[in-house]
Structure 1
Amino acid sequence: MNMIFELILVIPILLLSLSIHEFSHGMASYKKGDPTPKMQGRLTLNPLSHLDPMGALVLLLTRRFGWAKPVPINPRYYSNPRRDMMVVSVAGPASNFALALIFALALNLVGIFASGPLAMRMYGQSGGLLMITVQFLYLAVIINVSLGIFNLLPVPPLDGSKILRGVLPPSYDRYLNQLEGPLGMMLLLVLAFTGILGAIIGPIVQMVLGLMVFV
């Protein structure tokens, strides 16, 4: 696929996927009694409210993983902070998996009614609107599966670290605290740009894709 053409398809998927991810965090926290996301104007699907330039750049370069601007939350409003923080953290990746399922369903339906294998439609020289539709849906599935898996990694500031914090006894918090802030972000960037991160989540993404896309 031509790189410029792929970027044209990827950008709207990126904006939608990251916006719904952060909106889901904010709504989950709001439902748990925290007014902060609403007060900060983050209970919106407007991509400009959620876009993080570095996270968007990583997603554009890798076509697999990235991040948005975190929604501000205040766990002091939760009735059970450790449990409710886990729920709020799960909401983001769960929204990406839900989007991936929706796009995969649409892709499979297109495959059922299209003449010829999807691979032929995706990479063939002809096909027009059908080819573009297949490519868009396939990229949407890949990006959302990748975002969901990436954000479940137990490395701060990703959602997986907050889920892990809720599972482990409080005595382990100090170890996760050491990776909060710039150190954790630097670790993620090094893993991303050296290809190590792709090697870790790539096989998992392909396995999940194989379960979702079957035509």
Structure 2
Amino acid sequence: MSLARTALRPALRAGSSAATKAFSTSAARAQYKLPDLPYDFGALEPFISARIMEVHYTKHHQTYVNGLNTTLDTLNSSLSAQSVPELQKTVSLQKALNFHAGGHLNHTLFWENLSPSAKQGGVGGEPPSGKLASEIEKKWGSFENFKKAFNGSLAAIQGSGWSWLVKDGNGELQIVERANQDPVVGPFKPLLGVDAWEHAYYLQYENRKVEYFDAIWNVLNWKTAEKRFEA
């Protein structure tokens, strides 16, 4: 889990050229791996099926990890050659780096944002508390209003993407959307995100993605969001 805080996010936030240097420098170390899940595949049922969790984690997230490691290996080779063609190759890999690193980062944060429901011994579905809850109420009037706004953000995504609750550079809360696997970077700090890609819900909800957007509130882990907000 620490990779999301200490490696991926700072490099992506720094910009493309800085990110390339940071990633290529760190690529000599052990390759990136899937983070450990703090719960079983079936722990989020009936809201997210065990089959979805297994495929999402072992297939889709693993693909981003594999792609990230492959891209880093290629970047190392290109940068070490220091020729014009190899430099052109380095520039062309920026899109792949953003996609695979973003996919790895987004999913790592996403797993932390989920928890079994209270009935199953977890904290999933419990509303936010403390200062984060106060800021949500201040911004949207109530937690229910926030939920409606967040679900509206998810429903507005065309194709694949994510919706995030973020804290901006002024400490204010915002809801933002990101296409594909674009990560939350720049002045924004991700607090809580929901995956709106079809692979996150289709095996269970098919084309009824609105049902998935409603159901996931039962397993969202606001304790994690509160820690990110206060950090």
TM-score by length of 1: 0.34
Which is richer in helix? 1
